[in-house]
Amino acid sequence: MNEKQKNKLPVFCSRLFEAKVERGITFAQLGEKIGRDEVWVAAVFYGQAKPNHEEITKLADALGTNLSNLSDFNDKSFFPDKGGLVEVPPTDPLIYRFYEIIQVYGYPLKAVIHEKFGDGIMSAIDFTARVDKVVKDGGERVKVTFEGKFLPYKKW
């Protein structure tokens, strides 16, 4: 997490990152301990997802931190600020590549989705994402899988 992001995040997110570093634990390991995917767990750390009380309790236990350090998640006034961390266009090279992929392949992907499903969108609410490491041709490759519910546009 860089300083710009840190300034945009709720204070308790910084506590999560500090505890994660102190514990030397990965998002995948945390996900296993609380029963969630590593991408969703990372979203919690960036204030993009809101865990319930049971998940907060398991997270505090997995991080070896006091539950009171994460109690702000229970505050009814806290709602995730989805998308508020990324500039457009993004300046981070890895995030920019996702932006570039959409610039180059956005309309081709849209055309294929429309051919297969009809006129509609892929939900970002009923959605999952996975990141896998694949070894191919003697090198490591990143495999990102997005899966979202298809939502057809309503006719009226």
Tell me, what CATH number does 131's domain have? 3.30.1160.10
**Can you give the CATH number for the domain in which 66 is found?**
1.10.260.40
Domain around 56: 3-74
Residue 82 lies in a domain: no
Q: How far is CA 127 from the centre of its chain?
A: 11
Q: Is residue 83 part of a domain?
A: no
pLDDT by residue, tens only, the chain of 156 residues? 667 776 778 878 888 899 999 999 999 999 999 999 999 999 999 888 888 889 988 999 999 987 776 766 767 777 887 777 888 888 899 999 999 999 999 999 999 999 999 999 999 999 999 999 999 999 999 999 999 999 999 988
Look at the chain and count its residues: 156
Are 105 and 142 in a shared domain?
yes
The HSE-up count of residue 26 (CA atoms within 13 Å, CB side) is: 6
Q: Which residues are catalytic?
A: 97, 100, 123
Which tokens in the block code for residue 144?
Answer: 């990102």
Do both 70 and 98 map to the same domain?
A: no
Based on the domain organization, do 69 and 100 belong to the same domain? no
Q: Are the beta carbons of 46 and 85 closer than 8 angstroms?
A: yes
Quick one: CA dihedral 66, 82, 2, 92, positive or negative? positive
Say if 86 falls within a structural domain. no
For the chain, how big is the Rg over CA atoms in Å? 18
| Parallel/antiparallel/unpaired status of strands 139-152 and 120-136 | antiparallel
**Rounded distance, CA 26 to CA 113, Å?**
34
Q: In this structure, which amino acid lies at residue 80?
A: P
CB of 34 closer than 8 Å to CB of 55: yes
- Is this prediction's pTM over 0.85? no
User: Are 16 and 69 part of one and the same domain?
Assistant: yes
